[in-house]
Amino acid sequence: EPEVTQTPSHQVTQMGQEVILRCVPISNHLYFYWYRQILGQKVEFLVSFYNNEISEKSEIFDDQFSVERPDGSNFTLKIRSTKLEDSAMYFCASSRVGQGNQPQHFGDGTRLSIL
Amino acid sequence: QKEVEQNSGPLSVPEGAIASLNCTYSDRGSQSFFWYRQYSGKSPELIMSIYSNGDKEDGRFTAQLNKASQYVSLLIRDSQPSDSATYLCAVNEGGADGLTFGKGTHLIIQP
């Protein structure tokens, strides 16, 4: 069964550095998402992306964050000037279409640790 | 502010019994409702989706939706120890909207 692939599985970075988290969505999916889950807390929506532009973003997704689809398969989340509170699991998800009701399928996540 | 509320548990159920998980949501514009299962340290795994009022059954799982009461539930029949996990309720307004998740209910199936 096709799945969303995320790399790396664990990223350790010094505070203030930039990180790029990578995702390969399911091949026939057109909508892509990033979520984060701080340890012990709920999963929080960050951003959705369709047709090479942001569809929706949450209050969390400020100027520190950006997303990009650099080629036909990858979808990336860039976090600039990382802070201790950015430590979390980051999940990429994709769905087949945005019209109508389609479930979002999640990747295994990247654990981001800011030191 | 969109809110999804779940009892955090833990909910302890004997093996073979029915586990009943509940969720309420605040946004009356919500159109799509999902149950995800999350094992500790893992990603959310889709269990059920439901879009219209009533019941939807898939194997041992039944999702129930009541939009008037803004209430969603998940029943797990013949509970197995492998069902022990945190169950996340998630809703959105349909389409490409981001999901709003509850904090999840920690379910423990006792052998």
CB of A58 within 8 Å of a chain B CB? The answer is: yes
**pLDDT tens-digit series, residues A12-71:** 999 999 999 999 999 989 899 999 999 999 999 999 999 899 999 999 999 999 999 988
Over residues A68-89, mean pLDDT: 95
Which residues in chain B touch residue A105, judged by CB atoms under 8 angstroms apart? 46
Distance (Å, whole) CA A103 – CA A98: 9
N-to-C CA span, chain B: 40
Per-residue pLDDT for chain B (111 aa), expressed as one digit of tens each?
A: 789 999 999 999 999 999 999 999 999 999 999 999 999 999 999 999 999 999 999 999 999 999 999 999 999 999 999 999 999 999 988 777 899 999 999 999 999
CB of B104 within 8 Å of a chain A CB? The answer is: yes
Residue A92 to chain B, least CA–CA distance (Å): 10
CB of A52 within 8 Å of a chain B CB? The answer is: no
pLDDT of residue A49: 94
Asked whether residue A76 carries a pLDDT value surpassing 60, the answer given is: yes
pLDDT of residue A99: 57
Residue A84 to chain B, least CA–CA distance (Å): 20
Asked whether residue A111 carries a pLDDT value surpassing 70, the answer given is: yes
CB of B46 within 8 Å of a chain A CB? The answer is: yes
CB of B49 within 8 Å of a chain A CB? The answer is: yes
Which residues in chain B touch residue A104, judged by CB atoms under 8 angstroms apart? 34, 46, 99
DSSP string spanning chain B? ---EE-----EEEETTS-EEEEEEES-TT--EEEEEEE-TTS--EEEEEE-SSEEEEETTEEEEEETTTTEEEEEESS--GGG-EEEEEEEESSTTPPPEEP--EEEEEE-
pLDDT of residue A97: 72
* Closest residue on chain A to B51 (Cα): A101
Q: In which band, very low, low, confident or very high, does the pLDDT at A98 lie, cut at 50, 70 and 90?
A: low
Q: Which of B31, B49, B101 sits opposite A42 (nearest CB)?
A: B101
Interface A-B: count of C-beta contacts within 8 A: 65
Cβ distance of A44 and B45 shorter than 8 Å: no
pLDDT of residue B97: 84
Residue to test with chain A: of B43, B86, B97, most A Cβ within 10 A: B43
Residue B53 to chain A, least CA–CA distance (Å): 14
pLDDT of residue A100: 62
